[in-house]
Structure 1
Amino acid sequence: MHIEQGFQQVPFQEENPYSRDPVLPFLLRRLFPPRLFNEEIEPALEKFGEEVITGIRAQSKGNRISPPELIQYDNWGRRIDELQTSEGWRSLKATAQREGLPGIFYERRYREHSRLFGFAKALMMVGDSYEVFCPLSMTDGAARVLELVGTESMRREIFPRLISRDPSTALVAGQWMTERPGGSDVSQTETEAQSLGDGDSLGPRYSLDGFKWFSSATDGDVALALARTGPADRGSRGLSLFLIPLREMSPHLSSSTNGIRVHRLKNKIGTHALPTAELSLEQTTAYLIGTLNEGVKTIVPVLNITRVWSAISSVGALRRCLAIAIAYAEVRKIDGGKRLLKDVPVHVAQLASINLVYRALTHLVFGTVMTLGRVECGTASREEEHRLRMFTPIVKGFAAEKAVTAMEEAMTALGGQGYMEENEIGRLIRDSLVEKIWEGTTTVLSLDLLRSTSEPARLKEFISWSNSIILSCPPSLLKGVQDAIQALQGRLDSLIAAFLHPIPNLIARPSLIFMGYIASAIFLLEHANWSHSRGEDGYEVDAEVFRRWVNDGGFVAAEHELVRIRSEVKIADTSNSTIVFGRKVQTKL
């Protein structure tokens, strides 16, 4: 039989990622002012959705996306450290910049809603972006730092190019923190900065010498880097933040590399198109940003912004995996060609479980994004500022933990075809695994969450916010979700009990997962309250999604783990060590 003969599977077709999305249009309708949403936001997102599945997706077809290549020496043996990236990678980056990422956030045409609009576009593009938003997220963070504490010249010369929509002049910024001794622990930073005793319009000039273990925007134009300006025994309190120009980009520079040596590209299990390198700084010219020896405090906005971007990347990758699984179910026939997968209840149940995770994560992420927009525009309350401090580690860690597992389920929904590279779910999973590590592992984020709740008032504010939304549930809706409401209130009590002092460190990780479930449930209820009160189409679905999420087995298990850790903390440390490293054998004489 020729391959052209016999059964031919109908290829699945993904539809507009905005109009077909089960969450985004309805969520944004609630969060945006009605007139703005109807006249500007929705038409723009529908148009961009078409661009994603046509123009943007075409940019990565064939061999246009490939791993970067480092050419260290030319044919005369001279060290050149030339980094070559693929045509598709450069094209995707330029497309994102033209679409206003990250420009939208700083143009602030929509004030506190600007973050919502920009991140909605990012969510739709992530699945086809090949992690191009990694360097652009750091560019976003760098722009925010310069906006807040940059010198007048930095804000005049560098900032506009970081947020530019013109790829020919736009700058991309990296973030260089990680070094060999400490990893996420920057207190052991070895890179040293020496004042050159002069400066120019960009600010005081320093010379940096050190080694950076990870640089995920090696093809960028500038970088923010921590370097030691105080004694080593001061740890992170002896670090300052610097702006490093990588390449010739202004009258301030004459060198093409500024004393930067790229030693090798990292060999990663995913994010293959993204150049990540080990590099050394050798008398590298840099400019002080902010106050001397307050580098960790100064770079915090970068970390907060990139963590939200990380969450968007996790959820955006899940969005595309789910879209692929749904599209396949609409064309794949079984039972001798009698039924489509979409008509098989057990298969639809699997898709519904994936859909549930996607809905919960999307509401959690965009609820956090809305708060971020308010904080940046100065319209947030004090309580919202505190809540954002808590939500930032939660949203990044929880989204990363939940999304990949759901993406694996989407892969199995295609059977053997899901395991094929052509359908891209494998790439999306590999790329998304890094979100559990970049910008802080779940454990690191969990400890950060504990720090954010070190003041008892912060947790009380979170409980108060949760209860305010629970109490706003309309009586007519309450009848259908009473069991879920009662369960959620009981879990708020469990959270309070878990944070009774003294708070053991082992409570950190289960607390992050548990609070991720609670916060996403509260956002789902907030949306269900709104859609029910307005009589929106599908308000029954919103209520059912909330009810199912609260009754989800993972939520129940998270509560049990939190209670168990609290009760067994006195023996847990010793038991864990013995389980992992074993018992010492006693030698009898």
Structure 2
Amino acid sequence: MRIEEGFQPVPYAEGNPYTTDPVLPSLLKRLLPSQALTEVEKDLERFGNEVLTTLRDLCKLAEPPALSKGWRALKDVFQREGIIGIFYERAYREHSRAYGFAKILLAVGDSEVIDCPLSMTDGVARVIEIMGTPALKRDIYPRLTSRDPAVAFTAGQWMTERPGGSDVSRTETVATAVQESASPYGQRHTLNGFKWFSSATDSDVALALARTGQPSDGSRGLSLFLIPLRIPLIRAPSEPRPSATTNNIFIHRLKNKVGTKTLPTAELSIEGADAYLVGTPNEGVKLITPVLNITRIHSAVASTGSLRKCLAIATAHSRGRAIRGGTQLLSDTPLHVAELARLHVLYRALVHFVFGAVVLLGKSECGVASEEELLRLRLLTPAVKAFAADKACTAMEECMTTLGGEGYMEENGFGKCIQDAFAEKIWEGTITVLALDLVRANGKSAALNAFIAWANTVLSSCPASLGDFLSGPLGSLRSALDVLADAYAAPIPPLVPRPALFLFCHIASGLYLLEHAIWAHSTAEPTRETDVEVLRRWVTEGGLDVALENVRRAKAAAGSRIQMDANIVYGRGSGTQGARL
């Protein structure tokens, strides 16, 4: 039999990623004012068609690992679409963040990780908006937020060095003040060092940490600098783009990574580069925090958006693939649909959780967030990044398996999505790093109290007509809040932070689903029964019970378990140092 004869796999159509998304249209309907919703929905539907056509075609032109025509064209599309621009034009005030991140959610699975350098551009724009000199706000900020690719800048953030990874206290790059040369951009310095991981090799500027104090000062001796990658920094669009060597920045090599291969990531040698001090000397770690907060939320949206694409493929495939001799579609097979439903519940939980943080980010930037909301955002930022990355990666693999052997083929796109999205489990902090950040946030502020107060407000807002049906899930969430408060009570046992983070995320995502279910019920939305059932399943079947048990086990763990962990990993009799958070 010839290959074109006999059975052929049935093609599937994913459909417009916005109009077919099971959660985003309803979520935006709740979050946005009606006039804004009308305008935003029109643009998102148009952009959804661009994702299926323009972006997918450009992805085929992006050949790793070089600065290809496709890579540059993808960046141009994002800039023209206002990704970054939307956030700072603030046409919809605090809702602008929800609008812009909705576009990213739709595009991230079909844009070759182009949002990575743009997320850093977003963070750098925010730093300059907050603390830049008048000259930086005049010359650099408008380019970082521009919709015109001819003048728009992208930006990197250079923190990672060989000795420390996430531990910036071991930064080796040294900044030396140039006393005789003043600049309106900030005090001029020369930088010398080596940045081990730069994911914005083709950017125009970068924020970097460099040492202005002594090595013994650790992170307290670091300052923040804006580095031009090319000199002159400001030039006419018609002028040729200089090499980075014009500012004594040299690419040692492009990284050979497991995924994100189209994204040009480099090791950079900085050999006397001009740079400008941003903000107060020796406060670099504090001053770069807005970049980290923004890129972590971008990372969470990217993880969730990658799952969106994989789930859309799996769902569309089920409508066309027949079994039982071609007599029964997978969409009519209860066991198969049950697996897809479980993945859809997870996706809905992630979208609501992530956009909960997005909404608070928008409110904080527009100065309309309450003190309680700012404290809650401090907890949500590391949490959504960790949780979305962890849950999405596993779920994407399960989406692949729903296609059987077809899912394992590269042309379906699963493999690339999974490889690229796995970086989100590492970039901007591993789960353990973020779990310890949550501990710090709780230890230095009343953030957890603010979160619990908000949680109780959401729980008490459930109307009686809905509360009776949801009595079990509501009771579980209330009990889990008690365990959460106990988990973060000092002193925190050394094994608790990681399971406590997952417990926090299960509770928070459940509460955001509850908020939506209450809204859908109260407004008689057509989706209200589904929204209520999604909440019920997430709380009772989504892993909250496992998260609770893991916290209890970690709290009860004695020193003997820590010693046995070391024995299992390193061999019997291995010594252990005192455990520290």
Unmatched segments (≥5 aa) in structure 1: 70-84
Is 1:172 aligned to 2:161, yes or no? no
Secondary structure, in 3 states, of the residue corresponding to 2:189?
strand
Please give the residue correspondences for 1:317-328 in structure 2 after superposition, counting only pairs within 5 Å.
Answer: 317-328=306-317
Structure 1 residue aligned with 2:184, among 156, 177, 201? Answer: 201
Is 1:95 aligned to 2:77, yes or no? yes
Once structures 1 and 2 are overlaid, which stretch shifts more, 116-125 or 505-514?
Answer: 505-514
Secondary structure, in 3 states, of the residue corresponding to 2:453?
helix
Quote the residue 1:78 is aligned against: none
Quote the residue 1:79 is aligned against: none
Secondary structure, in 3 states, of the residue corresponding to 1:200?
coil
Secondary structure, in 3 states, of the residue corresponding to 2:543?
helix
**Amino acid corresponding to residue 193 of structure 2 in structure 1:** G
Structure 1 residue aligned with 2:324, among 335, 357, 360? Answer: 335
Quote the residue 1:58 is aligned against: 57
Structure 1 residue aligned with 2:336, among 328, 347, 366? Answer: 347
The separation in 1 between residues aligned to 2:400 and 2:172, in whole angstroms, is 43
Quote the residue 1:248 is aligned against: 231
Quote the residue 2:258 is aligned against: 269
Is 1:410 aligned to 2:407, yes or no? no
Q: CA deviation at 1:352?
A: 0.5
Is 1:381 aligned to 2:370, yes or no? yes
Quote the residue 1:559 is aligned against: 548
Q: CA deviation at 1:87?
A: 1.5
- Cα-to-partner distance string for 1:554-582 (whole Å, 9 max, x where unaligned): 22111100011001143332222122111
The separation in 2 between residues aligned to 1:489 and 1:571, in whole angstroms, is 32
Q: CA deviation at 1:462?
A: 0.9
**Amino acid corresponding to residue 100 of structure 1 in structure 2:** G
Q: CA deviation at 1:256?
A: 4.9
Asked if the contact 2:375–2:446 (Cα under 8 Å) also holds between the matched residues in 1, the reply is no
The separation in 2 between residues aligned to 1:23 and 1:161, in whole angstroms, is 34
Quote the residue 1:29 is aligned against: 29
**Amino acid corresponding to residue 220 of structure 1 in structure 2:** S
Secondary structure, in 3 states, of the residue corresponding to 1:459?
helix
Asked if the contact 1:506–1:569 (Cα under 8 Å) also holds between the matched residues in 2, the reply is no
Please give the residue correspondences for 1:106-117 in structure 2 after superposition, counting only pairs within 5 Å.
Answer: 106-117=88-99
The separation in 1 between residues aligned to 2:275 and 2:251, in whole angstroms, is 17
The separation in 1 between residues aligned to 2:514 and 2:261, in whole angstroms, is 39
Aligned in 2, Cα 1:101/1:553: closer, same or farther, shift over 3 Å? closer
Q: CA deviation at 1:251?
A: 5.1
- Cα-to-partner distance string for 1:181-207 (whole Å, 9 max, x where unaligned): 111000000000000112222121100
Secondary structure, in 3 states, of the residue corresponding to 1:285?
strand
Cα-Cα RMSD: 1.5
**Amino acid corresponding to residue 562 of structure 2 in structure 1:** D
Q: TM-score scaled to structure 1, two decimals?
A: 0.95
Secondary structure, in 3 states, of the residue corresponding to 2:166?
coil
Is 1:518 aligned to 2:507, yes or no? yes
Secondary structure, in 3 states, of the residue corresponding to 2:187?
strand
Quote the residue 1:183 is aligned against: 165
Please give the residue correspondences for 1:469-548 in structure 2 after superposition, counting only pairs within 5 Å.
Answer: 469-548=458-537
Asked if the contact 1:239–1:295 (Cα under 8 Å) also holds between the matched residues in 2, the reply is yes
Unmatched segments (≥5 aa) in structure 2: 236-240, 576-581
- Cα-to-partner distance string for 1:128-162 (whole Å, 9 max, x where unaligned): 01111000000000000000111110110001000
**Amino acid corresponding to residue 219 of structure 1 in structure 2:** D
Asked if the contact 2:346–2:542 (Cα under 8 Å) also holds between the matched residues in 1, the reply is no
The separation in 2 between residues aligned to 1:28 and 1:553, in whole angstroms, is 24
The separation in 1 between residues aligned to 2:18 and 2:574, in whole angstroms, is 61
Please give the residue correspondences for 1:25-174 in structure 2 after superposition, counting only pairs within 5 Å.
Answer: 25-38=25-38, 40-61=39-60, 64-69=61-66, 85-174=67-156
**Amino acid corresponding to residue 372 of structure 1 in structure 2:** L
Secondary structure, in 3 states, of the residue corresponding to 1:203?
coil
- Cα-to-partner distance string for 1:41-71 (whole Å, 9 max, x where unaligned): 111111111111122222123xx121134xx
**Amino acid corresponding to residue 186 of structure 2 in structure 1:** G
Quote the residue 1:298 is aligned against: 287
Quote the residue 1:75 is aligned against: none
Q: CA deviation at 1:505?
A: 3.1
Asked if the contact 1:447–1:505 (Cα under 8 Å) also holds between the matched residues in 2, the reply is no
Quote the residue 1:310 is aligned against: 299
The separation in 2 between residues aligned to 1:455 and 1:228, in whole angstroms, is 26
The separation in 1 between residues aligned to 2:33 and 2:558, in whole angstroms, is 48
Asked if the contact 1:221–1:249 (Cα under 8 Å) also holds between the matched residues in 2, the reply is no
The separation in 1 between residues aligned to 2:213 and 2:203, in whole angstroms, is 28
Q: CA deviation at 1:249?
A: 4.7
Q: CA deviation at 1:497?
A: 1.8
Q: TM-score scaled to structure 2, two decimals?
A: 0.96
Is 1:18 aligned to 2:36, yes or no? no
Quote the residue 1:8 is aligned against: 8
Is 1:216 aligned to 2:184, yes or no? no
The separation in 2 between residues aligned to 1:33 and 1:585, in whole angstroms, is 61
The separation in 2 between residues aligned to 1:242 and 1:584, in whole angstroms, is 47
Quote the residue 2:425 is aligned against: 436
The separation in 1 between residues aligned to 2:99 and 2:333, in whole angstroms, is 37
Is 1:227 aligned to 2:227, yes or no? no
The separation in 1 between residues aligned to 2:165 and 2:356, in whole angstroms, is 31
The separation in 1 between residues aligned to 2:10 and 2:526, in whole angstroms, is 32
Is 1:362 aligned to 2:359, yes or no? no
Secondary structure, in 3 states, of the residue corresponding to 2:491?
coil
Q: CA deviation at 1:255?
A: 7.4
Secondary structure, in 3 states, of the residue corresponding to 2:182?
strand
Quote the residue 2:238 is aligned against: none
The separation in 2 between residues aligned to 1:553 and 1:200, in whole angstroms, is 55
Asked if the contact 1:514–1:555 (Cα under 8 Å) also holds between the matched residues in 2, the reply is yes
The separation in 2 between residues aligned to 1:427 and 1:435, in whole angstroms, is 13
Percent identity between matched residues is: 57
The separation in 1 between residues aligned to 2:130 and 2:543, in whole angstroms, is 40
Secondary structure, in 3 states, of the residue corresponding to 2:291?
helix
- Cα-to-partner distance string for 1:354-385 (whole Å, 9 max, x where unaligned): 10110000000001100000000000000101
Q: CA deviation at 1:254?
A: 8.7
Secondary structure, in 3 states, of the residue corresponding to 2:20?
coil
Q: CA deviation at 1:7?
A: 1.5
**Amino acid corresponding to residue 68 of structure 1 in structure 2:** P
The aligned length equals 568
- Cα-to-partner distance string for 1:215-247 (whole Å, 9 max, x where unaligned): 000111111100000111110000000001001
Aligned in 2, Cα 1:54/1:255: closer, same or farther, shift over 3 Å? closer
- Cα-to-partner distance string for 1:378-413 (whole Å, 9 max, x where unaligned): 000001011111100000001001001110110000
The separation in 2 between residues aligned to 1:558 and 1:494, in whole angstroms, is 10
The separation in 2 between residues aligned to 1:158 and 1:347, in whole angstroms, is 52
Aligned in 2, Cα 1:251/1:539: closer, same or farther, shift over 3 Å? closer
The separation in 2 between residues aligned to 1:256 and 1:299, in whole angstroms, is 23
Asked if the contact 1:177–1:212 (Cα under 8 Å) also holds between the matched residues in 2, the reply is yes
**Amino acid corresponding to residue 354 of structure 2 in structure 1:** V
